Amino acid sequence: MRFQAASDQALLVYLGEEIGAAAHEGVVRLVRLLQQDPVAWIRNIQPAYCSLLITFDATVVDHAEVQVKLSEYETRAEKMPAGNARLVEVPVCYGGEFGPDLEVVAAQHGLQAEQVVELHIARTYQTYFLGFVPGFAYLGDLAEEIATPRLETPRKEVAAGSVGIAGRQTAVYPFATPGGWRLIGRTPLEMFRKDREPMDLIAIGDQVKFRPITRAEFLAMRRA
């Protein structure tokens, strides 16, 4: 575990130095313990691939005191059982108007569109963390064969439900927002609903699989 002051009220806790299962499991355990046994002066926890950003009440504690407390939590978290990961299935209608970049991605890698879809649905993905906007889950790792860099110029608006890829990550846009990921399909599911419990369809630590559906199935699920 490595600490780094991020601001006068925030501390970064690194649980690894590279993206992967080891750091991710450390992050998930520590997040779960901090949720189970909250610390009164912690104002916010922001997990990411290898780190947690802890925002704290600086009128109560300083960085050194936060480090001591988190070291304690880390020791306790290591002893926690990993817990069963939930498997979430996300239906996706690939290509066409829903996946305007599918052909481009295929061409870049010398593949057929169907092969890109096969590679995308073959894996079970880890939910590393949620960020960017509510409900935006960073999923990995995408097969090397279809890893594609972001668009040079992000789109001004990406439709809600769009499934994108960027590098070795994949994600679903929960809202119509600007976005630079390559869009290969769309899900009829709502990733974030404030009138649902839990609000997020996918949570940190969940496993995610994508399932291909037809346009007719997409429209039927949308109506339902």
Partner 1 sequence: MSLLVVESAGLLTTVQDFGREGYGVLGVSASGAADAVALRLGNLLLENKAGTPALEMTLMGGTFLFPDGAVICLAGANLGAQVDGKALELWRPHAILPGKSVVLGATRDFARCYLCVAGGIGVAEFLGSASTHLLSGLGGWEGRALRKGDMLPIGRLEKNIRRRKLRAGVLDGLKPGKTLRVTRGPQSDWFPEEAGAMLAGGEFLVSEESNRMGLRLDGPRLAARRKAEMISEGTPLGAIQVTPSGQAIILFVEQQTTGGYPKIANVIGADLHCVGQLRPRDTIRFEEVSLEAARALWIEQQRLLGSEERLFA
Residue written as token pair 């520590």: 30
CA-angle at 29, arms to 26 and 31, nearest 5°:
105
Footprint on residues 155-194 left by partner 1 (CB under 8 A): 174-175, 177, 192, 194
153 binds partner 1 (CB under 8 A): no
If one asks whether residue 35 binds partner 1 (CB under 8 A), the answer comes out as yes
Minimum CB separation of residue 101 from partner 1 in Å reads 21
Positions 203 through 222 that interact with partner 1 (CB under 8 A): 203-204
18 binds partner 1 (CB under 8 A): yes
What's the min distance (Å) between Cβ of 97 and partner 1?
A: 23
Nearer to partner 1, 193 or 215 (CB): 193
Q: Which of 49, 94, 125, 218 binds partner 1 (CB under 8 A)?
A: 49
| Residue selected from 7, 75, 124, 214 as contacting partner 1 according to rule CB under 8 A | 7
Strands lying side by side in the sheet with 42-47 = 2-7, 10-14, 51-56, 42-47
CA–CA separation, 181 vs 25, rounded Å? 26
By CB under 8 A, name the one of 51, 148, 162, 187 that touches partner 1.
51
Q: What angle do CA 54, 206, 120 make, to 5 degrees?
A: 120
CA torsion sign, 130 to 131 to 136 to 142?
negative
> From residue 132 to residue 151, what is the string marking binding to partner 1 with x (rule CB under 8 A)?
xxxxxxx-------------
Distance, CA of 58 to CA of 127 (rounded, Å): 31
Residues that bind partner 1 (CB under 8 A): 4-10, 12, 17-19, 31, 35, 43-53, 55, 58-59, 62-63, 129-138, 174-175, 177, 192, 194, 199-200, 203-204
